[in-house]
Amino acid sequence: MQKWAHGLTAAILLVILLSGCGGGGENADEGISNSRLATVKDRGELICGVSGQLPGFSFVDEDGNYSGLDVAICRAISAALFDDAEAVEFRNLNAKERFTAVQSGEVDILSRNTTWTTSRDTSIGMEFAPIVFYDGQGIMVKKDSGITSLADLEGRSICVQTGTTTEQNLADQMRRRGINYTPLVFEDVNITFATYAQGRCEAVTADRSGLVSRRSALPSPNDHIILDQVLSKEPLAPAVANNDSAWFDVVQWNVFALIYAEELGITSENVAEMANRDSPKIARFLGKQGALGEGLNISNDFAARIIRHVGNYGEIYSRNLGSDTELNLPRGQNRLWNNGGLMYSPPFR
């Protein structure tokens, strides 16, 4: 009787193992059937939530054309999925509505100069992809205001956008220093900066990159300065809804592909030539060898598509934020890891 029981147990275990190992392709398809990845593929278009009001990151011009680093991230994902960087619908979201748009499924991805924090990663159901811009919070004032440090803001008014990390950071930093100030809080970023430009508040706070961007749009940009003090760490990253590993993996590795391409020296201009190099590492990355794309349930040449359509991270940065733009933002921490920066991609293998 005991031998019979052991034999039955072994038989059941064998059936379980065989059913788990067999039909790998079918199981993979079933694994993404309920994923946002399947939804986006079936739709044939990516829906991307952006600001649309921040030059250099996401900005829409009078003709409806979108540009910026955050925009390029979405175009890269579109290129990877459809071999078409234009298969994207952009939706402008303010700070208050951006997370709800992801949670409700209104957008597939949020690519909107958003800081990665613990609470956003846990309590509100977001999953953050790799950081695409390392930033810090700053304060801008008029050059003739006489304000040169945070201490000079004692008793002054500061414009700040609600629903952002900047509001809490400002309160924390000023409380720690014992500086009394009057916050003027607005929901809309345009109103926030318009109020500052009108002189109704004596300073305005936001991510330093955002301050540089907004200053460039003021009537007399040179009349404004950004204080040297950095109030916080602001790692900006795209985000998707939680508990969808198939979609998150695609977004994550698409971002990493931009960084890794720059590390390998692969650009939009030389990608075809590099694909023919006698290098297993490059051949694997560009989909000439191996099956990295299949593991993500997308085309094996997804990285080559991305680079061909939008370039690598360095090209995107230069085109939208670098020395050839009005913003002229030094790369600083956003340089590659092997060039003194923090941009780093895991291996593609």
DSSP-derived letter for residue 51 is -
Say yes or no to pLDDT of 24 above 50.
no
Tokens matching residue 131? 């950081």
Reported as a pLDDT band with limits 50, 70 and 90, residue 31 is low
Q: Give the pLDDT confidence score for residue 327 in this predicted structure.
A: 93
pLDDT tens across 182-192, in order? 999 998 889 99
Long-range Cβ contacts of 294-299 (<8 Å, 24+ apart): 296/249, 296/250, 296/253, 297/28, 297/29, 297/32, 297/37, 297/246, 297/250, 298/37, 298/80, 298/81, 298/250, 299/80, 299/83
Question: Position 298: which residue type?
Answer: I
Distance CA 66, CA 12 (A): 58
Q: Where in the chain is the domain with CATH 3.40.190.10?
A: 47-134+236-339, 137-232
Mark residue 216 as left, alpha or beta (left: phi above 0; alpha: psi -120 to 50; beta: remaining): alpha
8 pLDDT more than 90: no
Q: In what order do the strands lie in the sheet with 88-92?
A: 88-92, 46-50, 109-110, 239-241, 126-128
Reduce the DSSP state of residue 139 to 3 states and report it. Answer: strand
What's the whole-number mean pLDDT along residues 126-139?
97
Give residue 134's identity as a one-letter amino acid code: Y
Q: Is the pLDDT of residue 78 over 70?
A: yes
Q: What mean pLDDT is predicted for residues 233-253?
A: 97
Q: What is the pLDDT of residue 9?
A: 41
Given a contact cutoff of 8 angstroms between Cβ atoms, the answer to whether 126 and 102 are in contact is yes
Architecture per CATH, domain 137-232, reads as 3-Layer(aba) Sandwich (3.40)
pLDDT at 346: 98
Q: How confident is the model at residue 104 (pLDDT cuts 50, 70, 90)?
A: very high
pLDDT at 163: 82
Strands 137-142 and 203-207, bridge-based pairing: antiparallel
Give the whole-number percent of the chain exceeding pLDDT 70.
91
Give residue 3's pLDDT. 40
- Enumerate residues 6+ apart whose C-beta is below 8 A from 45: 78, 82, 87, 88, 89
CATH topology of domain 47-134+236-339: D-Maltodextrin-Binding Protein; domain 2 (3.40.190)
Question: Chain-wide mean pLDDT for the chain?
Answer: 91
Query: SS3 of 95, please?
Result: coil
Instruction: Quote the CA–CA distance of 257 and 286 in Å, as a whole number.
Output: 10
Backbone angle region of 7, left / alpha / beta, with phi > 0 → left and psi within -120 to 50 → alpha = alpha
How high is the pLDDT of residue 73? 98
Give the confidence band of 33 by pLDDT, cuts at 50, 70, 90.
confident
SS3 67: strand
Task: List pLDDT tens digits, range 281-317.
Answer: 999 999 999 999 999 999 999 999 999 999 999 999 9
Write phi, then psi, for 236 (nearest 5 degrees). Answer: -95, 130
Residue type (1 letter), 157: S
Which has the closest alpha carbon to 295: 237, 252, 240? 252
Alpha-carbon distance of 94 to 96, in angstroms, equals 6
Sign for the CA dihedral angle at 23, 35, 130, 305 comes to positive
pLDDT band (50, 70, 90) for residue 92: very high
